Chain A
Amino acid sequence: MTLSAHLPALQVVVPLVAAPLTVLLRGGRLPYLVALTSSWIALVIAVLLWRQVDSGGTLSYAMGSWPPPWGIEYRVDRLTAFLLVLVSAIAALVLPYSRASIEREVPRPQHYLFYTMFVLCLAGLLGISITGDAFNIFVFLEVSSLSTYVLIALGRDRRALMAAYQYLIMGTIGATFIVIGIGLLYLMTGTLNLADMGQRLAEVQGTRPVLAALAFLTVGISLKLALFPLHQWLPDAYTHAPSAVSSFLAATATKVAVYVLIRFYFSVFGASQVFAHLPMQEMMLLLALAGMFAASTIAIFQSDLKRLFAYSSVAQIGYIILGLSFNSINGLTATIVHLFNHGVTKGAIFMLLGAVAMVMGGSTLARIQGLGKRMPLVSIGIVICGLSLIGVPGTAGFISKWYLLLAAIEQGQWWLVFLILLSSLLAVIYVWRFVEAAYFREPRQDIDATAAVPWSMGVPAALLVAATVYFGLDTSFTIGSASQAAAALQGGLR
């Protein structure tokens, strides 16, 4: 029995086993150590899987030894492997960060429950990425969503409870829409296996239940990925959740929802069916542009940094969906690579904001005046990530914008090129608000800012900021995986 043959199953099982273990091992350091070990093992498994897929092609694993399409199949192709590495890497960095961070934000008796929910969320997100069965996607989606609601509700402020409740209502409606879509697809094809469904749908293209399923799935997944008009839950959730939770969610939750959308669009429906029968291209273009501009504009007027960068997330998701609407290899590459780049950037920003909140007692623009003098390294980190959000060359964000512009230029849409550059200017404005408050104002004397940021928080944040710069200069991993995945998806292969 070779362990490497069972890696797909172990990818989900290792965090899943850690959850009941943390519940049983209540107090002391053990829950933290169990959660940390499981997330690092998950990262190792994800890297091993990526290397197997890179050299060997798509992996297939039959759960329970029931052959697909009768049984549940775990399929690892290039897009999946890429996403697994992102999610497990972010989790492996956020867990050490969270140890010191939740000391101040979550009551001590609930710490072991925090770790339980964290590894459950990780298991759910990894499961969504790796499974090849439609209903299994829904089950893992709900596992990760329910643990997310709990994680958000652990925030200090009572508004965290209301934010979690709003997210619960909207997220459950989204998940139920996804179930309706999957049900209609099951009724039309008789199978739940994604690859099999894709083949059988070719015979019933364009029929009304299939179009209805496409509509339900799109709206449901859009609620989960916070596409423009359905983004209402995101600002409150990211602002009032504990900093470690904001960092983890901003980097992973919406990205996995984008993965589900890509998987359904290209591997089940097929690009031609999606864009031919319904005006998906125009709709996604409109909503993406609306999100980019509206969210960036609202971000400019925020006074709380966490809220500002939460709206920035909505704008960046607009970029991701914009890439999808091009229906071209460059556009899809831009989408997939921005999943990674934005995940790394936003993860870093929220980690740094957590450190700021810990030292300065809050993260509003009024409190962080003079941050450049009080916390110089943290300020530089936030500025670097801000540059990545704008898309300055030398940072990861530039790579994604570059491919977006390439996709727009090759389709001759010069007005789109202009709009993308214009929205980057809006990003400059909201990043400038931070720079102005941090570097051009004097620090307030009434705030005691003598607390030091511990190593366990500083090192993961520094690593993510370094990654933001590194993946802007060396794109072999990100663009290599993304372009190969995009080519495979666009070509109808799986």
Chain B
Amino acid sequence: MTIGGHFTYFITIFLMIAGLFIVIARGNLIKKLVGLGIFQTSVYLLYLAPAKLVGGTAPILSPAFTIYSNPLPHVLILTAIVVGVATLALGLALVVRIREGYDTIEEDEILALDAARDREAQAS
């Protein structure tokens, strides 16, 4: 198993772990979304890397070629990218509204504000 031969898979795993780490370890809401994006990008690589066959050409029929690269993963990833864009847009819209509601986008500050309000409600 050469490292060069499996280069893309090592990058995939690195991006996957990096993305998940950012989502878990960072408290800023926008940084979490960035981490989510990185995680999703690693999945695109996971699908696309095996699609290119050794010696394969672009998947347009022609009498001169016998091996074609697989176009199906590309189509799947187009869909997945659109889903990722929609998720990112929705997440950012939520962050904008959270900023307007709480005046902060740090998760621990938001939890503290909620806890304070809960204590007030219990006291009243």
Interface residues of A (CB under 8 A from B): 135, 138-139, 142, 146, 149-150, 153, 158-159, 161-162, 164-165, 168-169, 172-173, 175-176, 179-180, 183, 186-187, 192
Contacts and interface: CB of A to CB of B under 8 A. Distances in A.
How would you classify the secondary structure of chain A's contact residues: helix, strand, loop or mixed? Answer: helix
Contacts of B43: 176, 179-180, 183
Given A162-B114, A173-B23, A173-B39, A168 B87 contact: yes
Contacts of B32: 169
B56 interface: no
B79 A173 contact: no
Interface string B6-48: 0000000000000010010000010011001001100100110
A187 B50 contact: yes
A182 B39 CA distance: 16
A120 B39 CA distance: 26
B114 A153 contact: no
Contacts of A146: 83, 86-87, 90
B46 A183 contact: yes
A192 B73 CA distance: 11
B30 to A, nearest CB: 11
A213 to B, nearest CB: 11
A161 B101 contact: yes
Interface in B69-99: 72-73, 76, 79-80, 83, 86-87, 90-91, 94-95, 97-98
B36 A173 contact: yes
B65 interface: no
A176 B79 CA distance: 13
B36 A183 contact: no
Contacts of B73: 186
Given A183-B43, A183-B47, A169 B23 contact: yes
Nearest to B83: A142
Given A165-B91, A172-B36, 20 more contacts: A135-B76, A142-B87, A146-B87, A150-B90, A158-B102, A161-B94, A161-B97, A162-B98, A165-B98, A168-B87, A169-B23, A169-B33, A169-B91, A172-B87, A173-B36, A176-B43, A179-B43, A183-B47, A186-B47, A192-B72
Interface size for chain B: under 10, 10 to 19, 20 to 34, or 35 or more residues? 20 to 34
Contacts of A161: 94, 97-98, 101
Contacts, number: 65
Contacts of A158: 98, 101-102
Contacts of B23: 169, 173
B94 A168 contact: yes
B90 A168 contact: yes
Residue among A139, A165, A179, A192 with max Cβ neighbours from chain B (10 Å): A165
Nearest to B105: A165
A159 B118 CA distance: 11
A199 B91 CA distance: 39
A187 B97 CA distance: 41
Contacts of A168: 87, 90-91, 94
Contacts of B101: 158, 161
Given A146-B87, A153-B97, A159 B80 contact: no
B83 A139 contact: yes
10 residue pairs, one from A and one from B, having the closest CB atoms: A158-B101, A142-B83, A165-B94, A161-B98, A183-B47, A161-B97, A172-B87, A183-B46, A179-B43, A168-B91
Contacts of B87: 142, 146, 168, 172
B90 A159 contact: no
Contacts of B29: 165
B47 A164 contact: no
Contacts of B39: 173, 176
A240 B29 CA distance: 19
Contacts of A162: 98, 110, 114
Contacts of A139: 79, 83
7 contacts: A135-B76, A146-B83, A146-B90, A169-B32, A180-B43, A183-B43, A186-B73
A173 to B, nearest CB: 7
